[in-house]
A and B are shown apart, each in its own frame.
Chain A
Amino acid sequence: MEPVRKFPDPSAVRDEMLQKYPPKVAKKRAKSIVLNDPEEIPQVQANTRTIPGIITQRGCSYAGCKGVVLGPTRDIVNLVHGPIGCSFYAWLTRRNQTRPDGPEGANYMTYCFSTDMQEEHIVFGGEKKLKQAIQEAYDLFHPKAIGIFSTCPVGLIGDDVHAVAREMRETLGDCNIFGFSCEGYKGVSQSAGHHIANNQVFKHVVGLDDTDKGGKFKINMLGEYNIGGDAFEIERLLEKCGITLVASFSGNSTIGQFENSHTADLNVIMCHRSINYMAEMMETKYGIPWMKVNFIGAEASAKSLRRIARYFEDDELMARVEEVIAEEMPVVRSVVEDVYPRTKGKLAMLFVGGSRAHHYQELFGELGMETLSAGYEFGHRDDYEGRRVIPSIKIDADTKNIEELKVTADPERYRPRKSEEDLARLKEEGLDIREYEGMMPDMKKGTLVIDDISHYESEKLIELYKPDIFCAGIKEKYVVQKMGVPLKQLHSYDYGGPYAGFTGAVNFYKDIDRMVNSRVWKLIQAPWEEDGAALELEASYVTQ
């Protein structure tokens, strides 16, 4: 029998984490580190400003807007207005895969476009250069659309990227040009950038093409960015079930999909944080309901497919979904059977972005692994505690300047896909529409939920709990591995994947088994440094 692992008391761990901070910092961090109780759901302080000097995992609004939401669309020229760094660092570093249409189809994702601002543009303004850069991009590539992304200095020197976009759109005539005021200092994290991206895509792109492309069950997939081919796997499953994907926001997407997305009958959301704005705006303007799904984990994938089928209330679709699940599950089960004895009882911790820290707990659960602690970089309270807390969330001074679009029903195109009565009935039957329960109800009592975790806090967690695997990003990876604990990158998947759907689950099971059972962790100590080894060596030579 394996010995039962003893863990420190989580509230003592929390105290120890806070102890070293200056009093003001300790007071603030205390509100972001909570002991979970899935029944009570304590309040978590989230989406507040980062404490200077604390070593955060967070990035900026530009990263959330350009890097995350717009980055994956292959046929928009994403032009970064600023000095060179911002565009360079977001160049191919997120693994949004895409499949262009044929050898001639547009794909600008391998390119990095920048106005490369110099000192004179900071002093005299950069609008002229921006216009010229748009003209040059147009002359070289003739793209359908150009997006302009503002970086830190742009807002400060007062360049009006929206005016430039309007002017150039008129000048060029056949190119949709729109700007994003996603300066890095906006908001407190990537999250502000998501919101800015949602607003501008909604305003300038969604609804431009009314063509009904056909299909009986038409959905949009929201907040799935096709990291490592996740969206390809989901697309495969949808197609197999006979569900039409009208648009993807924005993994493996084109601007044409966004333009046409309002013709779908249901929006399903993977990443609630980054795209819930779009779902709400589309429902208000066009009458398309939305529903949270999760394609991370085999069980979760099966459940999500069933939920989509339930929404459409079509017997044939429901039967087809069951057939697909029945076809997909055997291979999943056989791999779990193989892996489970080597993974069960192992401990995981997850500190990732704004959705995966929740989703991946499902996969670890399938492996018999426990999640001891989890948190987001930039989740909001609703991502932790569920959307029911939204009315009580106060927008603080750092976020109040992020625009909230006033959206109303489209006079011609608003068409409720289901009556309120039908939606209420479906809800009654257990189909939670317009809901997201958040991460905390799915975590055990006494687990530690930590928002915007600092380097110091993660080091303490590892030291005190010695987890078997830690999930975070590239900045954390080698730090944690130096401590002798494997780190699974849940942003880049360590260049593997997909992890979504049934194929993805199998990939994940194998990767985690490989990582938590790798021989290398047992080789860290040099044999001559083991207790008494030196003495023995010396003694054996002396006796000769």
Chain B
Amino acid sequence: MLLRHTKDEVMEREALTINPAKTCQPIGAMYAALGIHGCLPHSHGSQGCCSYHRSTLTRHYKEPVMAATSSFTEGASVFGGQANLVTAIDNIFTVYEPDIIAVHSTCLSETIGDDLQQIATKAKDDGKVPEGKYVIYAPTPSFVGSHVTGYGNMVQAMAEQFAVSTGETLDQVNIAAGWMEPSDMREIKRIAKEMEVTVRMFPDTSDVLDAPQTGKHVFYPKGGITIPELKSTGDSKFTVALGCFSGEPGGVALEKKCKVPFQTEDLPIGLRATDRCLMTLSKAAGVKIPQSITDERGRLLDVMTDMEQYFSGKKVALFGDPDHLIPLTEFLIDLNMKPVHIVSGTPGKRFEQRMKAILEDTVPEANVKNGPQADMFLLHQWIKNEPVDLLIGNTYGKYIARDEDIPFVRFGFPIVDRIGHSYFPSVGYMGGLRLVEKILGVLMDRQDRDAPEESFELVM
């Protein structure tokens, strides 16, 4: 057994986290920063963090992930990292020529109290930031929240440090995009185009982390929201913020700074979250939802009715990030499935509240926990006590899936042992179809594997 030491008896833990269902802030900030065109993420800390974050994102995307680091030494850790960052900014603009450097911090620079704003200003005053180039910054202490928090902090920084209100209102709607795959961002833009809405999506990692093979390495790929577009978000009619943990900080910041009204919606995962998201977008833009999109909805619903027998009553365990789990749980319930064990390493009361509301009519007995010690070790113990028919989560779930022999769907971050997530969406009705297909695939493969020969079915 791969996880041979996990026993079913649950012992209360206060201090030890085992097999976390989260990672730390800066990787989220790095991912978000890659969604700005011409941007080089920069990690202000010792270089190990930057290498780890680049490696993890690279394993997930099978794509180049560029970022620089201040490479703290022991001296800098004691006396402050200002000189390291100013030097880094100078070297980066000279050698790698980005349009923007987006700086985030680590537990090291946060513990010693480096002030990113002050250092960025100093770099500018010292003439290290060329004309027309930018340095933005987001504090991302690793000892607060999770990678999702870091993503939200960088989204907030984008809005705060770029958006400008000129007084004129443009016929465009902002999408403060929560943590999604490039494929998801691409799908939302496609839907918006179908609806004839001009959207300004930030960040936008499509055409950055799903770049084509051309025989050339394009250091700054063609994707990412551009600086003029980011600036113009201050003049938009409205902001739809997707995900209350990862996208909302962008909506809040735009309202605060530029008085752009906003509404937070769940990531459009599954049927009803997509319904709500599209209605909010249509209302914000003053457009109707076209027949083509209604047809897509109908196709998803058609599969849900056709295949109902395979979903109904199946118990599911899931783990991951709150903005993913909230709409996913709702979708599973709409499929008549029973999400019985749910953990998220990311802390936050809103997760508990939303989950309670979603589950109370259908699966009130579900085990739900988030924050420290809401880890995959606990999830596994719950599964041992009450087995499930399906496990959904990132790649680390494969160890539980193999030990307990549970059909497994990869979803969330990171997925380092399969492709697809960055190319095929999980959002919108088309994304819903893909999720349903994946779930059916593993459930039916299991039925095929386990069926006695006499009841092995040709047609299912």
| A interface, CB within 8 angstroms of B | 20-22, 25, 49-63, 79, 82-93, 100, 103-104, 106-108, 110-119, 121-122, 129-133, 135-137, 139-141, 151-153, 155-157, 183-188, 397-398, 401, 454-456, 459, 473-475, 477-484, 524-525
Given A85-B24, A475-B54 in contact, is the A152-B46 Cβ separation under 8 Å? Answer: yes
Instruction: Please name all residues of chain A whose beta carbon is closer than 8 Å to the beta carbon of B64 when the two chains form the complex.
Output: 478-479, 482
Report whether B112 and A85 are in contact in the complex, using a CB–CB cutoff of 8 Å: no
Report whether B16 and A107 are in contact in the complex, using a CB–CB cutoff of 8 Å: no
Interface 1/0 per residue, B20-62 and A, CB below 8 Å: 1011111100000000000000100111110111111011001
Instruction: Please name all residues of chain A whose beta carbon is closer than 8 Å to the beta carbon of B85 when the two chains form the complex.
Output: 52
Nearest chain A CB to B258 CB, angstrom units? 30
Complex CA distance for A59 and B56, rounded to whole angstroms? 13
Instruction: Please name all residues of chain B whose beta carbon is closer than 8 Å to the beta carbon of A92 when the two chains form the complex.
Output: 396
Report whether A484 and B215 are in contact in the complex, using a CB–CB cutoff of 8 Å: yes
Complex CA distance for A51 and B76, rounded to whole angstroms? 13
Report whether B13 and A84 are in contact in the complex, using a CB–CB cutoff of 8 Å: no
Q: Does B447 contact A (CB under 8 A)?
A: no
Nearest chain B CB to A145 CB, angstrom units? 14
Instruction: Please name all residues of chain A whose beta carbon is closer than 8 Å to the beta carbon of B396 when the two chains form the complex.
Output: 91-92
Report whether B16 and A153 are in contact in the complex, using a CB–CB cutoff of 8 Å: no
Instruction: Please name all residues of chain B whose beta carbon is closer than 8 Å to the beta carbon of A459 when the two chains form the complex.
Output: 217
Given A52-B85, A151-B107 in contact, is the A185-B51 Cβ separation under 8 Å? Answer: no
CB nearest neighbor in B for A135: B15
Complex CA distance for A287 and B326, rounded to whole angstroms? 62
Report whether B18 and A111 are in contact in the complex, using a CB–CB cutoff of 8 Å: yes
Instruction: Please name all residues of chain A whose beta carbon is closer than 8 Å to the beta carbon of B7 when the two chains form the complex.
Output: 140
Report whether A103 and B345 are in contact in the complex, using a CB–CB cutoff of 8 Å: no
Report whether A85 and B95 are in contact in the complex, using a CB–CB cutoff of 8 Å: no
CB nearest neighbor in B for A138: B16
Q: Does B146 contact A (CB under 8 A)?
A: yes
Interface 1/0 per residue, B78-120 and A, CB below 8 Å: 0000001101111110111000000000111011100000000
Complex CA distance for A140 and B49, rounded to whole angstroms? 30
Q: Does B4 contact A (CB under 8 A)?
A: yes
Report whether B94 and A20 are in contact in the complex, using a CB–CB cutoff of 8 Å: yes
| B interface, CB within 8 angstroms of A | 1-5, 7, 11, 13-20, 22-27, 42, 45-49, 51-56, 58-59, 62-77, 84-85, 87-92, 94-96, 106-108, 110-112, 141-144, 146, 211, 213-218, 345, 372-373, 377, 396, 399
Instruction: Please name all residues of chain B whose beta carbon is closer than 8 Å to the beta carbon of A130 when the two chains form the complex.
Output: 15
Which of A82, A473, A524 interacts with B215 by CB under 8 Å? Answer: A524
Which of A20, A118, A482 interacts with B143 by CB under 8 Å? Answer: A118
Which of A85, A93, A153, A398 interacts with B111 by CB under 8 Å? Answer: A153
Report whether B48 and A184 are in contact in the complex, using a CB–CB cutoff of 8 Å: yes
CB nearest neighbor in A for B91: A53
Instruction: Please name all residues of chain B whose beta carbon is closer than 8 Å to the beta carbon of A117 when the two chains form the complex.
Output: 107, 143
Pairs across A and B, CB under 8 Å, 18 listed:
A51-B87, A52-B88, A53-B42, A53-B95, A56-B69, A83-B141, A85-B25, A89-B23, A111-B5, A117-B143, A119-B141, A133-B16, A184-B45, A184-B48, A185-B73, A474-B58, A478-B64, A480-B217
Given A93-B55, A119-B144, A456-B95 in contact, is the A58-B216 Cβ separation under 8 Å? Answer: no
Which of B5, B58, B77, B399 interacts with A185 by CB under 8 Å? Answer: B77
Report whether B74 and A186 are in contact in the complex, using a CB–CB cutoff of 8 Å: yes
Which of A53, A118, A152 interacts with B68 by CB under 8 Å? Answer: A53
Report whether A52 and B87 are in contact in the complex, using a CB–CB cutoff of 8 Å: yes
For the complex of A and B, 9 pairs with smallest distance between CB atoms: A60-B48, A85-B24, A53-B88, A132-B15, A52-B88, A89-B52, A53-B91, A83-B142, A152-B108
